A = this chain, B = another copy of it.
């Protein structure tokens, strides 16, 4: 590959001048500029980003940390971050952390050696203190990591409340909840939203809440336990779609009809919910948008456009599908 020296030689100027043309810095005579441009073209010259990075101490690379890309919620997020990165001419590095703090730290160390410019992080385990102490720009996505870190999230609590209110509205009389992991901030918020909506109902019992760990299989089992213990349940708010599908499967295994005997609403709005039978009603997050916004905030922070910490909260919207929709009609006809 041609270097800046080759271009300089061909254009009969110094490398400094070529650099000026390249970066649009400093004064350079129009005529020489054109000579340089021609040489660049002729040699099909592309500046070496590594040399640039070495000098500048910055790499034009950002990373996205996700617990596991195989969880169907994250590919769309990844896609958004990548698109935004590309748009700003950043390279996109994807890191699966398995929510393991050691892996997270190992990745950070490795990427720092490459002069990584910043990270969008989906994590619940990473020690907020650690994240905050080390000097890279960081945006927390989907979950709050530390109060000093900028974040992009959705109105989890309010969304959960709306979900439960919706179940009430379509006629559910006993509404239970399959919760996400306790240490994940958004899971806790969704649980709180549920509790706010039901705690003063005379039928409410704490055993109406089961742990699903944000996993398909755990959620399926949890739902099965719940429905066996409490056959009176006729409405279920599940903390995410992946678990919602598990709940659907549990009902199917027990011979409970959805939505005739049981209405199910979940949270996230991933495509998976459109492929099940019945399709899954959900509180949909603007997944791509929040990913894109997080990436944009990160890049602004890197480029010093925004300095101060900020938290952005997007709104979720109800998407009615078959795991509840028919139920309303049944109710209306009564």
Q: Which residues of A contact B (CB under 8 A)?
A: 1, 46-51, 53-54, 59, 61, 68-70, 72, 74-76, 78-79, 82-83, 89, 91-96, 109-115, 216, 245, 248-249, 252, 271-272, 275-277
Q: Are B49 and A113 in contact, with the CB atoms below 8 A?
A: yes
Which of B69, B93, B110 is A93 in contact with, Cβ under 8 Å?
Answer: B93
Q: Are B91 and A93 in contact, with the CB atoms below 8 A?
A: yes
Cα-based distance from A317 to B216 in the complex (angstroms) = 24
Q: Are B277 and A114 in contact, with the CB atoms below 8 A?
A: no
Q: Are A46 and B79 in contact, with the CB atoms below 8 A?
A: no
How many copies of this chain are found per oligomer?
2
Which residues of chain B are within 8 angstroms of A69 by Cβ–Cβ distance? 69, 75, 78-79, 82
Which residues of chain B are within 8 angstroms of A112 by Cβ–Cβ distance? 1, 46
> In whole Å, how far is A292's beta carbon from the nearest beta carbon of chain B?
14
Residue in B closest to A114 when the chains form the complex, CB atoms: B49
Known contacts being A114-B91, A275-B272, A277-B277, is A109 close to B50, with CB within 8 Å?
no
Q: Are B49 and A78 in contact, with the CB atoms below 8 A?
A: no
28 contacts between A and B (CB under 8 A): A1-B112, A46-B109, A48-B54, A48-B113, A49-B113, A49-B114, A50-B50, A50-B114, A54-B54, A69-B75, A70-B75, A72-B72, A72-B75, A74-B75, A82-B94, A82-B96, A89-B110, A91-B93, A91-B111, A91-B114, A92-B93, A92-B95, A93-B93, A249-B277, A252-B277, A275-B275, A275-B276, A276-B276
Cα-based distance from A199 to B72 in the complex (angstroms) = 39
Q: Are A110 and B91 in contact, with the CB atoms below 8 A?
A: yes
Residue in B closest to A68 when the chains form the complex, CB atoms: B79
Residue in B closest to A135 when the chains form the complex, CB atoms: B1
Q: Are A92 and B94 in contact, with the CB atoms below 8 A?
A: yes
Q: Are A54 and B50 in contact, with the CB atoms below 8 A?
A: yes
> In whole Å, how far is A41's beta carbon from the nearest beta carbon of chain B?
14
Which residues of chain B are within 8 angstroms of A276 by Cβ–Cβ distance? 275-277
Q: Are A59 and B68 in contact, with the CB atoms below 8 A?
A: no
Residue in B closest to A103 when the chains form the complex, CB atoms: B86
Residue in B closest to A275 when the chains form the complex, CB atoms: B245
Residue in B closest to A57 when the chains form the complex, CB atoms: B50
Cα-based distance from A49 to B49 in the complex (angstroms) = 13
Q: Are B275 and A216 in contact, with the CB atoms below 8 A?
A: yes
Q: Are B59 and A70 in contact, with the CB atoms below 8 A?
A: no
Q: Are B70 and A115 in contact, with the CB atoms below 8 A?
A: no
Which of B47, B72, B248 is A113 in contact with, Cβ under 8 Å?
Answer: B47
